[in-house]
Structure 1
Amino acid sequence: MGHFVSFDQVSKIYRMGEVTIKAADKISFEIDKGEFCVIVGPSGAGKTTVLNMLGGMDTCDEGTILLDGSRISDYNQKELTRYRRYDVGFVFQFYNLVQNLTALENVELASEICENPLDASETLAHVGLSERMDNFPAQLSGGEQQRVSIARALAKNPKILLCDEPTGALDYNTGKTILKLLQDTCRSMGKTVIVITHNQAITAMADRVIHIKSGTVTDMALNPNPTPVERIEW
């Protein structure tokens, strides 16, 4: 029984003229199914490179990436497109909603392209927006728009939920409610949720914490008793 997500000696090299930059330098880590995992590190540490490779938006130059028994690192472009479409839910710092569609229509967009989608209105209810389904993004607060984008990601019924600085554009309290929603979703739906952040404080709420610095994993720790986000201060 292997791990749900596995990076084994993964490297990514960017060449700019004469200069080569190792954005990822032999990165290895594992994440188990249903875990709430936080990948933390300073800006430029390689977190986004890891996210892009795990999300199928970028390929690795060396090493092996596995998700649920499939070797993502061997995929061609067509297979990567399919993988991004069906297996990965994305939540970014900015909500990327379609402005002239309602909240419900934004979520339906995702479920239309998928094999086993969840019901769009039920998913919006899950993120606490049953009263806001017919509103357009401009009529919603930042926190509500981020909830729509989480619902859109979940409606795909993905294998993993990848969240890149999901509270980056939100105020402190709203950010906390979004993190709580992500953690509750991980628990109630059994989803594997991965949050990429530079905020060290968030690590206290994780089941697993992976520290990345200068393109390598400096530490990986399991947290037997995650702290509820309400009790975390930063």
Structure 2
Amino acid sequence: MSGHFVEFDGVCKYYQMGETRIAAADHISFTIEKGEFCVILGPSGAGKTTVLNMLGGMDTCDEGRIYLDGQEISAYSSKQLTTYRRYDVGFVFQFYNLVQNLTALENVELASEICKDPLPADETLRLVGLEHRMDNFPAQLSGGEQQRVSIARALAKNPKILLCDEPTGALDYNTGKQVLKLLQATCRQMGRTVIVITHNSALAAMADRVIRIKSGMVQSVEMNAEPIPVERIEW
């Protein structure tokens, strides 16, 4: 039983490449508290996405323990992991993964239909500033708007945690900043625990907690006493 909202305790994940065993996660340990905005930072191939996939229940660890909100999710069966992914975790990826023949509203409703305690789909679209785009199809929306729909879809599940893997990777600079501002506001105003994975070290300044990962290992964990609003950060 962990006293932290998120805890990785000596977590390892190995992949077999021919004769060689590669450690994508090599005894990773860190904690994240409820309501924090956390940035997990590291170069491509550092193991960031492996960490996110294990925390999101999309992948299992080979050693160590993973806890979320007092539950040891690393001990879950595949059936328990399915339930966990469905109810407890909101995902935002680099590519928006929207259903093309459904409107923005219908895309968000899809998520709320599978949940125990969802937020109204129209309400979450208002939260992300898309009340005037509810009846538009993805092809009629800009990249930034599509990413906002995917954030609304994740929020509609009313998840315990929001996991974002390079959420601005496909967006231009200004649009990317707007999306990050929205994620920061979601954390602050809704008290959500938001974890953003990125290779952009400038984003460290906007986080409460910064976990730096390199070669499958935690290099450092830093706390920012005063996180900076993303609109004041340049890169």
TM-score range, shorter chain: over 0.9
The one-letter code sitting in structure 2 at the alignment partner of 1:205 is: M
For residues 25 and 16 of structure 1, what CA distance do their matches in structure 2 show?
A: 16
> Mapping of 1:1-234 within 5 angstroms?
2-234=3-235
The one-letter code sitting in structure 2 at the alignment partner of 1:113 is: I
The one-letter code sitting in structure 2 at the alignment partner of 1:32 is: E
Query: How far is 1:18 from its partner?
Result: 1.1
The one-letter code sitting in structure 2 at the alignment partner of 1:171 is: D
Which segment is superposed worse, 13-22 or 190-199? 13-22
Deviation digits for residues 57-94 of structure 1 (CA, Å, limit 9, x no counterpart): 00000000000000010011000111000000000000
The one-letter code sitting in structure 2 at the alignment partner of 1:34 is: G
Q: How much is the aligned-residue C-alpha RMSD, in angstroms?
A: 0.6
For residues 212 and 221 of structure 1, what CA distance do their matches in structure 2 show?
A: 12
The one-letter code sitting in structure 1 at the alignment partner of 2:110 is: L
Runs of 4+ in 1 over 4 A off after TM superposition: none
| TM-score between both structures, scaled by the size of structure 2 | 0.99
Query: How far is 1:19 from its partner?
Result: 1.1
For residues 16 and 47 of structure 1, what CA distance do their matches in structure 2 show?
A: 19
Deviation digits for residues 113-134 of structure 1 (CA, Å, limit 9, x no counterpart): 0000000000000000000000
Query: How far is 1:17 from its partner?
Result: 2.6
Query: How far is 1:95 from its partner?
Result: 0.2
For residues 8 and 205 of structure 1, what CA distance do their matches in structure 2 show?
A: 26
Residue ranges of structure 1 left out of the alignment (5+ in a row):
none
For residues 191 and 234 of structure 2, what CA distance do their matches in structure 1 show?
A: 26
**May I ask how many residue pairs the two structures share in their alignment?**
234
| TM-score between both structures, scaled by the size of structure 1 | 0.99
The one-letter code sitting in structure 2 at the alignment partner of 1:173 is: N
Deviation digits for residues 187-229 of structure 1 (CA, Å, limit 9, x no counterpart): 1110000000000000100000000000000000110100111
Deviation digits for residues 159-211 of structure 1 (CA, Å, limit 9, x no counterpart): 00000000000000000000000000001110000000000000100000000
For residues 231 and 104 of structure 1, what CA distance do their matches in structure 2 show?
A: 32
Identity %: 79
